[in-house]
Amino acid sequence: MRVNSKDYRTIWMEGGSVFLIEQNLLPFEFKIVELKTCVESCNAIKTMLVRGAIAIEAAAGYAMAQAFMEAPRDDKGEYVDRAKKNIESTRPTARNLFYAVDRVYNAGRKSDNPVSAVVAAVGEMVEESVVATRRIGEIGAELIRDGMKIETHCNAGWLACVDWGTALSPMYMAHRAGKKIFVYVDETRPRGQGARLTAWELNNEGVPHKIIPDNAGAYLMSKNEVDFMIVGADRIATNGDTANKIGTLEKAIVAKKYGVPFYIAAPLSTFDLNCKTGTDIKIEERGEDEVLYQVGVDDQGALRKVLVCSPGSRAINPGFDVTPADLITGIITEKGIVRASREEIKKLFV
């Protein structure tokens, strides 16, 4: 995608280093970070320098590749096995992370030239994700009519992937095709991925939009101001139950109440065929400081972290919730749109 007249991907690899856009600084500062080791890449995932299911997929795959590059010559696999566990512990909810780690790890373990094998495997995986998210955009754009008002939650755009996005990709395609659309961007507390990242992306793309408080969606839907809602996903169970950023469940319930179509956009790598229902999905509990504090810029443009809650109060901070399949109108994948049901999801993997 384009930033200041230059095309970027969210994350890429050169030699043994991983390069990524530092998302914690956006939208106030655009900065590329170099991660030279597997440990640095793990830390970037954990601290959300890189975030979003598909971008995490790429970061985890690159980290696994770095581990093979770093392993001592006389190592019998212990180094990469420890690295694998460390990568998997960074963000437990995102299915894509585990998909990437397994794919790259298995490629390296089965080869007599593991470094070459993992570099090839992660490169192939990343390119597949770019093709998949572009295809999701093309398929999803067919659902978007001229003049539609669309709501989205969190950031499931270019920054959440390697390129294009999941939930935002159909909007980009529709906009580039000349359709007049308007996007309501949920702020997405506590980290504000909507207000900070999705709005920044839409600004760069020239898509008309407004940021709304998380608790304004029901009001707008009740006034027939939302025609369509589309969000991303971090893990999809085989029955269609879907884990996504906390607050997604509330939106789905309200959308069902007011007859607003509610779609999930996700590539096949987000589906967990070993996960029968949403109750099997582990929900990440993040630190309470994300709720108690906010980060922004002061009048001089300096980033500041400030307490925004009652001093001495504690907080809980689940990172995700699970939307039951019966609240989901459909799932947009690179293979087409399917109902959120075990039977239709099974067809995707035949």
Pairing of the two strands 32-35 and 17-21: antiparallel
pLDDT in the model for residue 5: 80
Q: What are phi and psi of 244, to 5 degrees?
A: -150, 175
Residues 304 and 201 in one domain: yes
Structural domain contains residue 183: yes
pLDDT in the model for residue 301: 86
Share of the chain above pLDDT 70, in %: 100
Cα distances (angstroms) measured from residue 54 to each of 1, 157, 179: 15, 10, 27
pLDDT in the model for residue 246: 98
Structural domain contains residue 139: no
Residues 114 and 158 in one domain: no
Residues 207 and 239 in one domain: yes
* DSSP state letters, 55-92: HHHHHHHHHHHHHHHHS-TT--SHHHHHHHHHHHTT-S
pLDDT digits (tens, 9 = 90+) for 125-148: 999 999 999 999 999 999 999 999
Measured between alpha carbons, how far is 45 from 56 in angstroms, rounded to an integer?
7
Residues 11 and 79 in one domain: yes
CATH number at 330 reads 3.40.50.10470
Q: Is 323 exposed, middle or buried (0-12, 13-18, 19+ CB in 10 A)?
A: buried
**Once rounded to an integer, what is the mean pLDDT over residues 154-161?**
97
Final residue in a domain of this structure, among 112, 133, 154: 133
Residues 129 and 150 in one domain: no
Is pLDDT of 319 > 90?
yes
Residues 150 and 85 in one domain: no
Measured between alpha carbons, how far is 8 from 21 in angstroms, rounded to an integer?
9
Residue 271, H or E segment: none
Is pLDDT of 119 > 90?
yes
Pairing of the two strands 11-14 and 209-212: unpaired
Place of tokens 């089965």: 110
Residues 182 and 249 in one domain: yes
Instruction: Provide the number of structural domains found in the chain.
Output: 2
Structural domain contains residue 198: yes
Residues 112 and 243 in one domain: no
Structural domain contains residue 305: yes
DSSP, collapsed to helix, strand or coil, labels residue 202 as helix
**Once rounded to an integer, what is the mean pLDDT over residues 280-291?**
96
Measured between alpha carbons, how far is 34 from 41 in angstroms, rounded to an integer?
9
Residue 278's pLDDT band (cuts 50, 70, 90): very high
HSE, side-chain direction, 13 A CA sphere, residue 92: 10
Residues 149 and 189 in one domain: yes
pLDDT digits (tens, 9 = 90+) for 35-90: 999 999 999 999 999 999 999 999 999 999 999 999 998 887 899 999 999 999 99
Residues 112 and 211 in one domain: no
**Once rounded to an integer, what is the mean pLDDT over residues 166-172?**
98
Structural domain contains residue 25: yes
Cα distances (angstroms) measured from residue 216 to each of 138, 192, 223: 29, 15, 11
Q: Residues 163, 186, 234, 272: which is the catalytic one?
A: 234
Residues 124 and 209 in one domain: no
**Once rounded to an integer, what is the mean pLDDT over residues 280-292?**
96
Residues 9 and 129 in one domain: yes
Average pLDDT, the chain: 96
How is residue 191 written in tokens? 């980290």
Can 298 be counted among the known catalytic residues?
Answer: no
Final residue in a domain of this structure, among 84, 104, 133: 133
pLDDT in the model for residue 306: 96
Final residue in a domain of this structure, among 85, 101, 133: 133
pLDDT in the model for residue 2: 82
DSSP, collapsed to helix, strand or coil, labels residue 6 as strand
CATH number at 126 reads 1.20.120.420
Measured between alpha carbons, how far is 165 from 258 in angstroms, rounded to an integer?
27
Structural domain contains residue 140: no
* Domain hosting residue 335, numbered range: 145-348
Closest CA to 341 of 329, 350, 223: 329
Structural domain contains residue 138: no
Is pLDDT of 209 > 80?
yes
Range 252-258 contact pairs with CB under 8 angstroms and sequence separation of 24 or more: 252/323, 252/324, 252/327, 252/328, 253/327, 254/217, 254/218, 254/221, 255/221, 255/226, 255/229, 255/327, 256/327, 257/221, 258/218, 258/221, 258/222, 258/224, 258/226
Measured between alpha carbons, how far is 275 from 142 in angstroms, rounded to an integer?
30
Sorted by sequence, the CB contacts under 8 Å of residue 235 that are 6+ apart come out as 93, 94, 95, 242, 243, 270, 272, 275, 281
| 98-102, 240-244, 258-262, 301-305: least confidently modelled range | 301-305
